[in-house]
Chain A
């Protein structure tokens, strides 16, 4: 079974072709970061406008290089969660393509795409595992028993971790999206006297809260004003350490709670080097294993959607060609794949 996958839930246009039997995957990715930079954040209407311009040339190019449109057995796309208008573009192209070809179509859960992205690596985790999903839109710990069998163990009560990175970076005067720039700035120092709180670690449970850290960063800046370059770097460092510590403590707690031996890290923040290093150290100590998707599959992408959708479609799942997008959609409502 060969499927075309479309991802357009936020500010990345991702297109991929996945062949279920061979595991061969090809993808094209376009990031809209430049388009949103001067606004200091993703503007939903502009994101939608860009998807409708960028998706078709990528689809045409990918199909030309991979056997043409008639070699497809099905079309899958991100049905949610995400930005309504942005999702709609991918959904309409996918559904219309399926209609024109008389091929099956299936809407995929964006977060399931992220959860299963590590399966695209050579070294795949076995089920069950704990997944830490960390991106600009989400922060959650998920108990993954099997494909489609998900239980949310904890999630952010306010800002997503990537959002906290971006907002703090903005306070530091770093250009949008800021998160990776903040991490870069943090890497220029190796110690500081500044101590940031580790939110919610002294409470039981696996929920997160990151908006307080951003406020703490702001207050620290006010205290130190005028800020030297060294001050900025130390604030970035202290902030990143606080985030990474918090995530690691909760991951450890989730592994203990579930009794699982495997941790999978997915989402854009999964590319953060300090986080990767810290979780690897933790795993060595606990004698568990940690899996990261390849960097190209950390951010939003079409490959993870083609993969998750391809698995489900190969197992016989289909949507009627009348369904709508689901800007809000809980992972826990998904059907288990047997």
Chain B
């Protein structure tokens, strides 16, 4: 069996990040703000983390990707890139929720054990999920479901830290009632958190093949069905 060397790609927002976690437990990552240019940066960033980690492509055992919710095209950039790598290197994929990545990254940055992660979904809505620390794994886990919520109907749970662009949208819409010290509306998901969540998922056997790709858009109504014209 291959030693565990995981490459992780996150492109669900205006940020693009890549990380690698080696079998020795070393983590290397690259992060850039590259709105609408993710595909131009990805290959370079993937090469960079491999060089830093001293790994060859053939040493990789898994390819992890942020599987949404987020910008539709962005989410598909990570997913389809992961598919290409999976087929080329014959390695399994690992799909991790973008909200879980955001929450885990928030825990790394702010040491917050309870995080309400929210991403701006436009049109007055946000993708939202509540995450809590599991002391055994040291990772934040989803409490309940990830949902699409209207900004003015967002219920803020007590004792939760608020992270992500969803709260920026709330603030701009004038419906965020929370003290500044429990909000980080600028926080973006980061592949370093993705790769750690992926390691845990792999140990639980949660891997996919390229033809089993999973994307969780949450927003699934993207067009109106039309009536057939008649005369």
Contacts and interface: CB of A to CB of B under 8 A. Distances in A.
A173 B230 CA distance: 5
Contacts of B222: 43, 45-46
A151 interface: no
A248 to B, nearest CB: 29
B229 A60 contact: no
B84 interface: yes
Contacts of B211: 56-57, 60
Given A173-B230, A227-B231, A324-B40, A96 B223 contact: no
A315 interface: no
A53 B80 CA distance: 9
Contacts of A69: 87-88, 90
A39 B46 CA distance: 39
Contacts of B228: 40, 170, 173, 175
B76 interface: yes
Taking each of B37, B83, B90, which has the highest tally of chain A beta carbons within 10 Å of its own beta carbon? B83
Nearest to B77: A92
Interface in B195-231: 210-211, 213, 215, 217, 222-226, 228-231
Contact of A94 (B37, B46, B84, B229): B84
B43 A93 contact: no
A82 to B, nearest CB: 14
A100 B210 contact: no
B3 interface: no
Interface residues of B, number: 37
Interface stretch (A83-91, A180-188, A254-262, A289-297): A83-91
Nearest to A63: B87
Nearest to B73: A85
Given A171-B229, A322-B43, A89 B88 contact: no
B100 interface: no
Interface in B77-99: 77, 79-85, 87-90
A96 B85 contact: yes
B44 interface: yes
B159 interface: no
B226 A39 contact: yes
Given A43-B222, A43-B223, A56-B213, A91 B88 contact: no
Contacts of A90: 80
B84 A89 contact: no
Contacts of B31: none
Interface string A97-108: 111111000000
Contacts of B88: 69, 96-101
A60 B73 contact: no
B171 interface: no
Contact of B213 (A38, A43, A52, A96): A52
22 contacts: A39-B224, A45-B223, A52-B76, A56-B83, A56-B87, A56-B211, A56-B213, A84-B73, A85-B76, A89-B76, A90-B80, A92-B83, A93-B83, A95-B39, A100-B87, A100-B88, A170-B228, A173-B229, A222-B231, A321-B43, A322-B43, A324-B39
7 closest A-B pairs by beta carbon, nearest first, are A100-B88, A96-B84, A92-B80, A97-B84, A57-B211, A40-B226, A56-B210
Interface of B: 37, 39-41, 43-44, 46, 57, 72-73, 76-77, 79-85, 87-90, 210-211, 213, 215, 217, 222-226, 228-231
